[in-house]
Structure 1
Amino acid sequence: MNMHDEHGHPMRKHAVVSAFAIAFALLAVAACSPERDHTPIAAPSSARTPASAAIPDAADERTCTNEPRTDENDKRPRCEGMGATPPAARAYRVVGGSGDPVDQVVCDIDETFVLDGKLFGTELSGGVDGTYRFVRTPNIPGLSWNAGGRYHIEFPDGPDKSGTLTTEGGGTTTAGTTSRETAGGERFTLTLVEACAP
């Protein structure tokens, strides 16, 4: 078979062979050249951030407060001393009250405790600020009492010195169909004593 160029002139056989030889050589060079690694370049290890380090563990986040306890169900941790050894129980002798005086030792004022007078039992929610309420009243037919409010404890010279507990609130005394409002302001003195068991 004779091959011709674009002008109809016969092409020389060696020119055709040369064209095929060049094309074949280019294919051979491409086939023999080392393959490129198409793996993406990884970031340096120092720049990598583990997923666990990027997202904080919610269980490690602890919410604390220094607000007064709202009631006996308020179990929120207090910020002071978080992560430290819990302080020892604070025991105090509580003396005072006007209408129904008390003189007793409270083994831990940070926990719920009851001041036991001769007539009334008054439960305090615990801590230096909290709530109180009557939990025991005299059993006198025709008479009933209901009282509650808030209290506050202060140690002006430090917790190892004497302090004061004051109450504010009020209640109602009922006799038959007649009721009378009463004020709940009382004052007690607290003196540190040796630790004891409740």
Structure 2
Amino acid sequence: MKINSILLFLVTVCSTFSFSTIAKADSIQSRCDIYPKGEDKASKVVNCIFSQRQGFITITREDGVTYDLEPSDNQYIDQNGKTVTKEIDGNTLIFRFQKESVYLYQGEKAPSSSNSSHSLAQTPENLISTTPTALKDLVGAKAGQAENTLISRGYTYRNTVTFEGGKSAYYVENKTGYCVEVGTVDGRYSSIVYNTSDRCNK
């Protein structure tokens, strides 16, 4: 009797551990870019957690917003009963809600947005479209892995614009205040160049 009880206990523990492992495997730390409907500029870029279990999707943003999506006829229904469509663009998942779109980049981390202490200076015309010397080695690097390198080298994130085929993120060069555009295509930095200061003000 004691042996049977011990075996039952071990089976229960193993089952619980297996379920916990599976649950963790279904969730991944991600980055969410939030676009108001009709806008081509992200209003917010935040860290988020993407979870998927048996077709049901939960997106939990670090700013407290949560989306609960239930599959329905090749689409989804959110917690408010509204229809949500899902698109896949390379490694990017796009969720189209009624009032906004969420671009979700699995495994990526939102850049630091602590930019209030860094002033913006007018980028000299002779520098526009040239690559900052300190960032030349990052052209071609994987975007998700290189963002922290950008920040550690003295660049502060401002905003992101997504377009067909890729996106551009804008950073302020802390020591000069100049604006730098970081282009990403297929998950890699395709170009890193100085751009006009107004790009970092949007």
Settle same-fold status: TM greater than 0.5.
Answer: no
> TM-score, with normalisation over the residues of structure 2?
0.28
> TM-score, with normalisation over the residues of structure 1?
0.29
Hey, which of these two has a bigger chunk of strand by percent? 2
Hey, which of these two has a bigger chunk of helix by percent? 2
